[in-house]
Structure 1
Amino acid sequence: MRHPRRRLVLFASLGVVILLAIPAIWLGVKWNRALSNINKMIVPTVVLPTTAAATPEPLAVVETPDPELPPLPEPTAVPPPDGVQNILLVGTDARIGEDVSRTDTMVWVHLDPQANRVSMMSFPRDLWVNIPGYGKNRINTAYLTGETKLGKGYGPALLKKTVGDLVGVPIDHFVLINFDGFKTIIDKIGGIYVDVPKVIDDAKYPMDEYAGDVRTMKIHFDAGRQLMDGSNALIYARTRHADSDFGRNQRQQQVLMAIFDRMREQGLLGQLTSLDDYTDVLSNYIRTDLSRTDMLGLAGVGSRLHSENIQRFAIDAKMVTPRTTPAYVLLLKDQKALRLLVNQMLDPSAAAAGGENPAP
C-alpha cells in the first residue's frame, strides 16, 4: 500500500504542474490567435513586369505566409533581422478591400539592427517623380497607378520601385495602413502625448463624411503638450492649410515618434502576452509584405530602441520649386541635395558632418 505522504506529495506535484500549464496553454492560444491575425495582414510579394506599362501575368508570388503556425517561442527566441531593412510606411484613406486611392502619407524607414539605429524620411505627396513605365507624375499617384493599370496587388510594388529609384536605395518592404487603422491603434494604446509647437488653425480641413454641400470644417490645436486620441491625432497629422505639406510631414513624423514612445513606455513591443489584442484590432486595417518572422524580429529591435537613436529627415521647401500650371507640383531643384540627404540618412557620420534635416 502506497504511503499517504507519498500520495500527498504526488498530488501536490501534479497540482503545481497543472497550475504552471494553465498560463502556458493560455499564452499559446493567444499566440496562435495573434499569428492567425498577422497572416491576415500579409500579402504576397509581387514582381513588376519588365516593362511596367505592359499587362502583367497574374500575381507573381515570391513569398507567401506559412500556413502552419510555429510553436510558441520565448520572447528572446525571435532573432532580430540580420541586415539592414528599408521599409516604406504608406498611409491611405481607402478602406482595406475597397476602392484604392492615392497615398496620403509616405515615410521611408531605414533600419540597421546591428547598429540599433533607425532613420526616417518623409516625401511631400505632390513631389514630381518618374513612375517606372508611366512617366512623370506626383509621387502619391504611384500606388494608385499600380493598382489600376497593372492589377490588384501591384500598387505597393510600383510605389516601392518609384521611391527606390528616387533615393537610389532598393525598398525591401512596405506597410500600408488606412486612416481607420491609424486611429484604432492610437486609441488602443490609450492615446499619445504630442507637444504642439505652435497654435494651429485650419478653416478648410476635409471632412470624412460630407454634410450636404459642406466638405470642410474648422479645426484648432493649442500650443503645448497634450494627450490626443486617434481622431485628434489623425487631424493633427493631416492638417496642412495652417502652414504647408512640409509642416504636415513634420507632424506625421512627430505622431509616429509619439506612437513609438507610448508603446515603448507601456512595454508593448516586447509583451507577447498582449500581442493578440492588438493584432486582432489591426488585422482589418494593415497590409504588408513583411513576413511573420520579420515583424516579430522588428518588434524585438523596437523594444531595445530609444528615441535618440531615431533620426528624422524630410524633403523640405528648400529642396523643391513649386510649379502651379497646369497643376500644382513640386520639382526637385537639385539631385545632389537629395543625394546628400540620403547619405546623411544612411550614414550617421555623414549626418554628423553635414548636419541633419530633421522635423522639429
Structure 2
Amino acid sequence: MSKQRKTGKIILLILAALLLLLLGAIGIFYLRINTPAALFTPDATAAPTPEPATPSAAPLQTPGAHSPTPEPAVTPEPTPAPMSEAELESLSDLSFMKNRVNIMVFGIDKSEEREASGSFRTDTMILVTVNFKTNAVDMISIPRDSYVQLYNKSGELIEPLDPYGKVNSAFSLGGGLKHGGYQSALNTVSALFGGIPVQYYVSVDMNAVKDVVNAMGGVEYDVDIEVTMNGRELHPGLQHLDGQAVLDYCRQRKGSSDVARADRQQRMLFAIFNQMKSTGQIANIPKIYTAVQSNIETNLSFEQICALALVAVRMDSAGLNRHMVPGEYMSLYARDCWCLHTLKLQELISDVFGAEVIVDPNADAEALKLYVGTNRLAIAAELSAGNRAYADAQYLLTNYKSSIPSAECSALQSAMSHLKTALRRESKGLLDLYTPPVRTLADSIWAGLGGMGAIPSGMADAVLQEEEESNTFSGSGGIHIG
C-alpha cells in the first residue's frame, strides 16, 4: 500500500472523529479496513497537524461528466463488515479513555489571503468534553466575542500591558496556523475555564460543513429564523436542507447575536448527529472524504480517534449535552464583547467536570463595568495627552502630507496606528509606550514645516471631534478614538 494511500486513510479516520465532534462520528464504526496496522507509521503517538493528502482513488464523477480515458476495469472488493465493538476497543488508546478528555473544535473562517498568511479566525469555538466512564459528551460553546485574557503557545500572556481581548483572536495573535496559533487558543480556553486542561483540537474549514452535508444527501431540519445571505433565503419551517443552506443557517448573524448563532450551530449538530445515527452514512463516506480531506487539522492520533469512535457507538443523543459560556453583551472599548458571568461559569464547570475552580474575577461583567469607569478617571491625563498627540498628527497628515518626507510620513502613520489602539483600549501601559513617539514625530515634522509653537489647537481639536463623530459607540467603555 503506497504511503499516499496510508495517509489518505488516516485522514479519512480523522474525518470520522470530526464527525463525532461536529456531526456525531457514527461513520467510524462502519469504516472497516482489512489491515489496520498498515495505517501506522512506527511512531503512532500524537503528531503535529498532518498535511492533507491527495486521494488515491479516482475522484467521484458528476453524472453526465465526460471521462477522457476510461480506467481498466477493476474487480470491486467486497464491502467490509462493520467493525465489532471489541475490535474497535482493541485499537483504541485505553490510557486516553481512562477518565475524561477535552477537545476544542474550531470552525475556521478561511480566505485566500488568510490562507497565505495562516492568520485564520476561529469563528466557531466549541469545547467538547468526553466522559469515557459514562459515555456522555458535553459541548460548551464559547462565543467568539468572549472578553478574556489571551495566552500564547508557551502559556504566557500575549500582551502583558493589555492582556484582555476577544477569545477568537488568540489563534491569530498567538501565531496563526504556522506558528502556534492552535496551542495559543488551547491555552487561552484552558485559562478561561479556570485551568481545566485542553490538549486536543479538531479544526475544520466552515466550507467543509457544506460538503459533508451534501455528501450525506442533506438533512431534515425545522428552521426557526429567516435567513438571508448573498441573495439566498431560508424561511421558517420543517424542510430538507442541502449543505449551502445548512452553512447559511449556521453562519446567519444579522438580526441576532453571536450567542444565538452558536445555539443554532449546536442544534444543527444535534440534528445531523441523529440523522447519521438513524441512517448510517456508509455509502457517503468516500464523498465526505473527498470533499473535506484538505480542510481538517487535528493533533489526535489514530488510537485516540478509535477511542472517540467507540464513544459514538455506545452513546445516544440523550448522552449529548450542550451548554453556553454564561455572560452578557457589553459595548466595551468601542466593540461589542461577551463579558462573562464568572460565578455561573464556575457552576457550569463544577456540573460538567466535577471540579471546583476559580475563573478570572477581573473578567466578570460587573467587574469590567466598574473597572472601565474608575480606570478612565485614573488615566485622564494620559488619555488627554494621547488624544492630543494623535489629533495633532492627523492634522499634519490631512493638511501637509505632500510636504512631509516619505520616511517621516510612514513612521508617523505607523506610530499613530499603535497609539490609536492604546486610546481605544484605554490602557495606561500602552499609552505610556505609544504617545511619546507620536508626540515627538509630530512636533519634529511641524518644526520642519516651519511651524511655530504648538500645532494649532483649534484645528487639532476639530480633527479630534471628527474622529469622535465618525465612531458610533454607546454604553460603558466609550473613548475618544474608536
TM range (shorter): 0.5 to 0.7
Aligned residue among 204, 210, 213 for 1:186: 213
Report how far residue 153 of structure 1 moved: 4.6
How far apart, in 2, do the equivalents of 1:307 and 1:40 lie? Answer: 20
SS in 2 for 1:255: helix
Equivalent pairs counted in the alignment come to 275
The amino acid of 2:47's aligned partner reads T
Residue 212 of structure 1 is matched in structure 2 by none
Report how far residue 293 of structure 1 moved: 1.3
Report how far residue 170 of structure 1 moved: 0.9
Residue 34 of structure 1 is matched in structure 2 by 9
Residue 127 of structure 2 is matched in structure 1 by 108
Report how far residue 38 of structure 1 moved: 4.9
Confirm whether residue 86 of structure 1 aligns to residue 86 of structure 2. no
Residue 340 of structure 1 is matched in structure 2 by 347
Question: What TM-score does the superposition give when structure 2 sets the normalisation length?
Answer: 0.51
Report how far residue 162 of structure 1 moved: 0.5
Identity over aligned residues, as a percent? 26
Conserved? CA contact 2:234–2:245, under 8 Å: no
Residue 174 of structure 1 is matched in structure 2 by 201
Confirm whether residue 163 of structure 1 aligns to residue 163 of structure 2. no
Conserved? CA contact 1:34–1:275, under 8 Å: no
CA RMSD of aligned residues (A): 3.3
Q: For residues 330 and 36 of structure 1, do their structure 2 counterparts lie closer, same or farther at Cα, with a shift above 3 Å needed? A: closer
Residue 152 of structure 1 is matched in structure 2 by 178
Conserved? CA contact 1:200–1:242, under 8 Å: no
The CA deviation string for residues 69-105 of structure 1, in whole angstroms up to 9 with x for no partner, is xxx9944312253331111110012169544321110
Report how far residue 346 of structure 1 moved: 2.8
Q: Equivalences for 1:5-24 in 2 at 5 Å?
A: none
Conserved? CA contact 1:88–1:108, under 8 Å: yes
Report how far residue 343 of structure 1 moved: 1.9
Hey, which of these two has a bigger chunk of helix by percent? 2
How far apart, in 2, do the equivalents of 1:173 and 1:136 lie? Answer: 23
How far apart, in 2, do the equivalents of 1:303 and 1:120 lie? Answer: 18
How far apart, in 2, do the equivalents of 1:324 and 1:74 lie? Answer: 53
Hey, which of these two has a bigger chunk of strand by percent? 1
The amino acid of 1:327's aligned partner reads R
Residue 140 of structure 1 is matched in structure 2 by 168
Residue 320 of structure 1 is matched in structure 2 by 328
Residue 260 of structure 2 is matched in structure 1 by 247
How far apart, in 2, do the equivalents of 1:238 and 1:305 lie? Answer: 28
The CA deviation string for residues 235-264 of structure 1, in whole angstroms up to 9 with x for no partner, is 100111122111101111012112212221
Q: For residues 111 and 157 of structure 1, do their structure 2 counterparts lie closer, same or farther at Cα, with a shift above 3 Å needed? A: same
How far apart, in 1, do the equivalents of 2:15 and 2:239 lie? Answer: 34
Q: Equivalences for 1:266-305 in 2 at 5 Å?
A: 266-268=279-281, 277-305=287-315
Q: For residues 282 and 328 of structure 1, do their structure 2 counterparts lie closer, same or farther at Cα, with a shift above 3 Å needed? A: same
Conserved? CA contact 1:313–1:345, under 8 Å: no
Q: For residues 292 and 320 of structure 1, do their structure 2 counterparts lie closer, same or farther at Cα, with a shift above 3 Å needed? A: same
How far apart, in 1, do the equivalents of 2:108 and 2:14 lie? Answer: 21
How far apart, in 2, do the equivalents of 1:120 and 1:190 lie? Answer: 25
Conserved? CA contact 1:85–1:112, under 8 Å: yes
How far apart, in 2, do the equivalents of 1:33 and 1:73 lie? Answer: 20
Residue 235 of structure 1 is matched in structure 2 by 248
SS in 2 for 1:328: strand
Aligned residue among 25, 47, 66 for 1:64: 47
Report how far residue 166 of structure 1 moved: 0.4
The amino acid of 1:103's aligned partner reads T
Residue 35 of structure 2 is matched in structure 1 by none
How far apart, in 2, do the equivalents of 1:153 and 1:75 lie? Answer: 40
Q: For residues 245 and 31 of structure 1, do their structure 2 counterparts lie closer, same or farther at Cα, with a shift above 3 Å needed? A: same
Q: Equivalences for 1:220-231 in 2 at 5 Å?
A: 220-231=233-244
Unaligned runs of 5+ in 1: 1-24, 43-61, 206-216, 348-360
Residue 214 of structure 1 is matched in structure 2 by none
How far apart, in 2, do the equivalents of 1:201 and 1:74 lie? Answer: 41
How far apart, in 2, do the equivalents of 1:97 and 1:293 lie? Answer: 30
The CA deviation string for residues 161-209 of structure 1, in whole angstroms up to 9 with x for no partner, is 1011101211121110012211111111111222223x3245xx4xxxx
Conserved? CA contact 2:266–2:322, under 8 Å: yes
Q: For residues 314 and 137 of structure 1, do their structure 2 counterparts lie closer, same or farther at Cα, with a shift above 3 Å needed? A: same
SS in 2 for 1:115: coil
Aligned residue among 262, 287, 294 for 2:275: 262
How far apart, in 1, do the equivalents of 2:121 and 2:286 lie? Answer: 30
